Amino acid sequence: MKKRLARILAVTLGAATLLTGCGGNSGQKTSDSSKKSDDQKITEDVTKTEGEIEVWTNLSQEEMNFYVEEFNKIVPGVKVKVTVMPSKEYRTKLQNAFRTGTNAPDVATFEISDLGVYKETDMLENLSQEKYGAEDISKDMIPYVDELSRDKEGDIRGLSWQSTPGGFWYKKALAKEYLGTDDPDELAAMLSDWDKIVEVGKQVYEKSDGKIALLDDVESVLQLYASYKGQPWVDDNNHIISDDYMLEMYKMMETVVSNKVDAEADMWSAGWTSGMYSKDMFILTCLPTWGLNFCIKPGIPDDEMDKAANTWGYMQAPIPYQNGGTWYGMYSKSKNKDAAWAWIKTMTSNVDYLVNGLANTWGDFPGYIPAIEKCIEEGHTDIVTGDQQYFVDFYETAKEVKGDPMTKYDRQAWTSAGAQMDLIATGQITPEEAVQGFKEDMKNIYPEIEID
């Protein structure tokens, strides 16, 4: 509870770091400049490319070391210098470097919300130019990944190596004990809508004498609702998302909390992570593809991984949502576009690397369909999930996901929506007050937003 209250205070006192500046005139596209090609030649067979590039990222050094090693097995002639920074520092420095052109990287990684800002500027290279051949790659991406890779004019501004559909991860033993089954299809049918989730959650709480909850935290409600809106947080006319949708979400949060459906595990906290393995607190957590390797498995001590074998399962959520994802983008003024393209193309569409390197080593779910189908053909599994071939479910969900437009407002919208969620969880406001608080918070940070 203290951590949740601290988070409320932090959001109240200051807004999250934003990339709002990229919407300024200095970065906006000018006429057809983004469609013009320079005279840098691109090697058709990227494995023969030679050169040197600098890549900036807020991913971990461990990840990037692995990526560079795998890349150089395929493209030995390109030397890659990697600069890793913490997220807040990264966003500020990248924005400044791209604006000024001083010591800017050739390639940078962009979280999904950041790409939504940058892709509408001249700062990212137009990869739809024929010399790159990105159109041939993107047409074989998961549809929502292809859609989100494009600017409003339909040009590709980045490519992603992953797709991130989501569902419910569940503890098999607890599901068997309290729900009567650990079969993912049976569980999906049992929990196919929010009314069923609430009713089953009440039964779990009663059956366990209040020791076990169905859901980990009320934020699992936010994960589903905020990731499957069917509309942007703020549209092109500066109108904020509808009150009806936000009210429905906040009412469901209130229902979940009041009926003890969640364990109040405070998603993303240390206690929540430990609850993945060392504590029996909840049965389900709502997370996308990366949840297994970046949330569940980190809570398992290395020397106990064998004990954790076949302890978790994955099931479809009531709706096909996605959350997260990272893209590679090329700086439009890079002097090393040939080598930069070799990196982007290889790391997002080389099937052997995506299957044997990315998926089998990091557990990442690709965005490139030929790689996904190869993973499924080979029967991709994980020690923690036993023999469940959960990539099959990922694939089915990913094909149904509709990518909501990503804009400069997204990062703050999640923060503001989460702040009101915390106030509901601690009993301080009503759902109606949460809707108003969300709108006022967004308006305070972005005065151009129109609210009722």
Sort 192 into a burial class: Cβ within 10 Å, 0-12 / 13-18 / 19+: middle
**pLDDT of 5 strictly over 80:** no
**CATH level 3 topology of 16-28+36-163+324-377:** D-Maltodextrin-Binding Protein; domain 2 (3.40.190)
| Over residues 185-197, mean pLDDT | 98
Q: Residue 98's pLDDT band (boundaries 50, 70, 90)?
A: very high
Please give the pLDDT value at position 39: 80
CB 267 within 8 A of CB 219: yes
**What is the tens place of the pLDDT at every residue in 401-435?**
988 888 899 999 999 999 999 999 999 999 999 99
| Over residues 140-152, mean pLDDT | 97
**What is the tens place of the pLDDT at every residue in 225-277?**
999 998 999 999 999 999 999 999 999 999 999 999 999 999 999 889 887 88
3-state secondary structure labels for all residues of 353-415? HHHHHHHHHHCCCECEHHHHHHHHHCCCCEHHHECCCCHHHHHHHHHHCCCCCCCCCHHHHHH
Q: Residue 322's pLDDT band (boundaries 50, 70, 90)?
A: very high
Query: Which residues are CB-contacts of 443 (< 8 A; sequence separation ≥ 6)?
Result: 240, 449, 451
Please give the pLDDT value at position 402: 87
Q: Residue 19's pLDDT band (boundaries 50, 70, 90)?
A: very low
| Over residues 182-202, mean pLDDT | 98
**What is the tens place of the pLDDT at every residue in 74-83?**
999 999 999 9
Please give the pLDDT value at position 278: 84
**pLDDT of 15 strictly over 80:** no
Lowest mean pLDDT among 10-24, 182-196, 308-322, 406-420: 10-24
| Over residues 136-151, mean pLDDT | 97
Q: Residue 383's pLDDT band (boundaries 50, 70, 90)?
A: very high
**What is the tens place of the pLDDT at every residue in 81-94?**
999 999 989 999 99
Q: Residue 36's pLDDT band (boundaries 50, 70, 90)?
A: low
| Over residues 43-68, mean pLDDT | 97
Please give the pLDDT value at position 35: 56
CB 110 within 8 A of CB 327: yes
Q: Cα-flanking dihedrals φ and ψ of residue 50, to 5°?
A: -130, 150
Please give the pLDDT value at position 403: 83
- How far is residue 45's CA from residue 345's CA, in Å, rounded to a whole number? 10
Nearest-CA neighbor of 355 among 342, 341, 343, 370?
Answer: 370
- How far is residue 259's CA from residue 205's CA, in Å, rounded to a whole number? 9
Average pLDDT of the chain is 92
Entry field: residues in the chain: 452
CB 72 within 8 A of CB 78: yes
**Percent residues over pLDDT 90 in the chain:** 85
Q: Residue 337's pLDDT band (boundaries 50, 70, 90)?
A: very high
Task: Answer with the residue of higher pLDDT: 214 or 275.
Answer: 214
| Over residues 343-365, mean pLDDT | 96
- How far is residue 46's CA from residue 40's CA, in Å, rounded to a whole number? 14
Beta-bridge partner residues of 141: 368
Please give the pLDDT value at position 9: 37
| Over residues 158-181, mean pLDDT | 98
Nearest-CA neighbor of 106 among 332, 327, 326?
Answer: 332
Task: Answer with the residue of higher pLDDT: 363 or 33.
Answer: 363
Intra-chain end-to-end CA distance of the chain, in Å: 33
Please give the pLDDT value at position 230: 87
Please give the pLDDT value at position 7: 38
Counting other chains too, the contacts that 426-432 makes at CB distance below 8 Å and 24 or more residues apart are 426/1, 426/4, 426/5, 426/8, 427/257, 430/254, 431/247, 431/250, 431/251, 431/253, 431/254, 432/247, 432/250
Q: Residue 38's pLDDT band (boundaries 50, 70, 90)?
A: confident
In the chain, domain spans: 16-28+36-163+324-377, 165-323+406-445
**pLDDT of 393 strictly over 70:** yes
What does each C-alpha distance from 444 to 76, 401, 439 come to in angstroms? 51, 32, 9
Query: Which residues are CB-contacts of 155 (< 8 A; sequence separation ≥ 6)?
Result: 34, 35, 126, 127, 128
Please give the pLDDT value at position 6: 41
- CATH number of 165-323+406-445: 3.30.300.30, 3.30.70.100, 1.10.1660.10, 3.40.190.10? 3.40.190.10
**pLDDT of 57 strictly over 60:** yes
